[in-house]
Amino acid sequence: MSITFHPEHNTLKLDTSRSSYILKIYEQGYILNIYYGAPLPDAYIPKREQRYPNASFSPSDPIIGEMGHRFRPDTTPLEYSGNGAGDFRQPCLAVRNANGDTVTDLRYDGHKIYSGKPGIPGQPSTYENTPGEAETLELYAKDPTTGIRVTLYYTVFESAGVMTRRVRVENTTDAACDIERVFSMCMDLPTMEYDMISLWGRHNHERYTQRVALHHGVQGVESRRGVSGHCYNPFMALAEKTATEENGWVYGFNLVYSGNFSALAECDFNGCTRVTMGINPVDFGWHLDPGEFFDAPEVVMVFTDAGIGEMSRIYHRFYNSNLIRGRWKTEKRPLLINSWEAAYFDFDSDKLVAFAKEAKRLGIEMLVMDDGWFGVRNRDNCSLGDWYVNEDKLPGGLTPLIERVNAEGLKFGIWFEPEMISPDSDLFRAHPDWHVHVEGRPSMPARWQYVLDVSREDVRENIWQQLYAILANNKIDYVKWDFNRNISEAGSALLPPERKKEFFHRFILGTYDLMNRLATTFPDILFENCSGGGGRFDPAMLAYSPQIWASDNTDPIERLDIQFGTSMCYPASTMGAHVSANRRAGYVTKGNVAMWGTFGYELDPVKLTDEEREIIRGQVADYHRWYDLIHYGDLYRLISPAENERRAAWMFVSPDKSEALFTLVTTRSVFRLPLIIKFRGLDPDAMYHITETDETLSGAALMNAGYWFIDVPMADKESYTLHLERA
């Protein structure tokens, strides 16, 4: 049993292979967090219930605690904090009741432990593959005054070393109420001696790694853009100040959600830390009539005492196994070439078939036709929402083109942006009220487009019918789903005043509904998510599309920071990465960097030189040879570009440690000095043969003495790979 109740201590203990989590049901029903960290045999840790008694005249309960003073919610590690009931730190839940106040005070009301993991209606979440892989605790709490009931869900994936958390709020009263704030998890740690690791950026520079020391006050990352966004990712880690890639305590938190989010850490006067994560409370609200409930999205939590790199590897294995689903979870994905950087809007059937002919000679397996095939879309200021073929470009429609591409031996993929509408479109002229807007307020365009109100069923049905007509009547193997603006003037014409704040969440639920219909109706199509590159790179999207375009920036040197940051919690199998033309560095380095990902091409194959073609044929062969190693192997980040301005290095090691691939990139050339890099993840007792140098060394030597790069080219933007096999 990974979840156990201990009546002698009134504690609940949740154990994974790497961690223990202990809850205590305290006097008068307070639910407290006692411990989260490395595995313990103990079911109870004494003196953890109460900290220093008084922050600033803090209200107290009549309970006399173990430390001899009254119980104060403000200085207590509450497992899920309410609003306005004596705890003045970041609250998790605030419900405005029929009286108009928002005081919310939760007390224990029972629990249930069972095998398995329930899904979340209408939302993506992680899942178990086989019965018994997961165990779930439902911990019930209730506000004794208002009658609001809360279920805290904890699911333990014991062997994976992962725990997930989420929350359901139910109105069990006879009067309506309104949720004004609901986080998916709360956790209190007894110290603030941690660094916070987060991912920040912008368009073309997504998910750069930031590591800063925690300080007193509230800190964190969040989005109010309507999507998870380019600027911050719904991920946060707390690492011991001395933690490295391979050593130290690290806590990871990742929200399975694609909308507005908050990931916060508050360090209080006691030097304690409260972590909260969930839907951003700004512009959020949810009206509950009697008998209704609300489900908050899921948080995936990881703890390890083996460093930041091991936290990442736990996430990678878990997402590959328990989040991504469908045919393309395990089946090798076709190697593709995308038309965007090769042609932009300037293409026709003959040009695309010429691309396909040359791509086939290189060993590429699929041609993807990007933006510009529909409506009268010859530029980016029209036709979004008009998903019918532009026959001036593609005479006879898609079928003749697809047949010609297939005849060259390639599969065919297509681009959509289903949640968007152009003011200059047939759809907008017919239904101007269908875009996201606030009545009486002018709508502000971005990129010459508005956002469609997919919170509305009639809007979703129109999009569905258009997409279905294209996908059901043509042999399409791949869909790139794009989303190229954020949401402003957020509102829906169909929502009444008391439900206006529900819009952002309803919009995301509408997107999930559309994506789920597509993924289940067309299970053989490979879906790739995109949002101006990596503007919606989050776990929820991975439940519908097993890969996400990591960034519109395909420069291999700048991609290093993007890919290092993305790998904090997202596996290589999810990271869309392509070789493109007209960028810094040669094709060797472009290929070595893009190989850390789904791999593909973003160029005009007709314009390649003979030398470039030969390099690409070699890369295509490497893609097939190293596919499983990169997609499902363990990643070790050896030299981070964020910490070294001259180099970056990483390696993938197969799960059985029989094979490894090492990559080194020189980002800025330096005077040639001996360079020794210690490898990681190998079997110390095994002997490894290095293909490129015909050397054989032990895993212990490669990891402890390191490998000496004395004869390797170190010129600007050059790169180098080593392939190791167990001898």
CA 339 centroid distance within chain: 26
Token pair 């993007």: residue: 562
What is the three-class DSSP state of 485? Answer: coil
Token pair 């950026």: residue: 201
**What is the C-alpha to C-alpha distance for residues 685 and 691, in angstroms, rounded to an integer?**
19
Give the pairing type, strands 70-71 and 149-157: unpaired
**What is the C-alpha to C-alpha distance for residues 292 and 151, in angstroms, rounded to an integer?**
13
Q: Which residues are catalytic?
A: 482, 552
| Residue 19 CA: distances (Å) to CA of 50, 293, 333, 408 | 23, 32, 35, 53
Asked if residue 482 lies in contact with residue 415, where contact means CB atoms within 8 angstroms, the answer is yes
**What is the C-alpha to C-alpha distance for residues 143 and 423, in angstroms, rounded to an integer?**
48
Asked if residue 123 lies in contact with residue 512, where contact means CB atoms within 8 angstroms, the answer is yes
User: End-to-end CA distance of the chain, in Å?
Assistant: 41
**What is the C-alpha to C-alpha distance for residues 320 and 658, in angstroms, rounded to an integer?**
20
What is the three-class DSSP state of 75? Answer: helix
**What is the C-alpha to C-alpha distance for residues 134 and 39, in angstroms, rounded to an integer?**
18
- Please enumerate in sequence order all residues whose Cβ is within 8 A of that of 520, keeping only pairs 6 or more positions apart, or say none: none
Q: Which tokens in the block code for residue 54?
A: 């008084």
What angle do the packed helices 503-521 and 457-472 form, to 10 degrees? 20
Cα four-point dihedral sign 615, 616, 619, 621: negative
**What is the C-alpha to C-alpha distance for residues 47 and 708, in angstroms, rounded to an integer?**
52
Asked if residue 380 lies in contact with residue 426, where contact means CB atoms within 8 angstroms, the answer is no
- In the sheet with 634-639, reading across from the earlier edge strand, the strands are 634-639, 647-653, 659-666, 719-726, 687-690, 695-698
- 562 closest CA partner among 197, 195, 199: 199
Q: Phi/psi at 350 (nearest 5 deg)?
A: -65, -40
**What is the C-alpha to C-alpha distance for residues 190 and 48, in angstroms, rounded to an integer?**
8
**What is the C-alpha to C-alpha distance for residues 358 and 710, in angstroms, rounded to an integer?**
39
**What is the C-alpha to C-alpha distance for residues 36 and 251, in angstroms, rounded to an integer?**
9
For 573, other C-beta atoms within 10 Å of its C-beta total 24
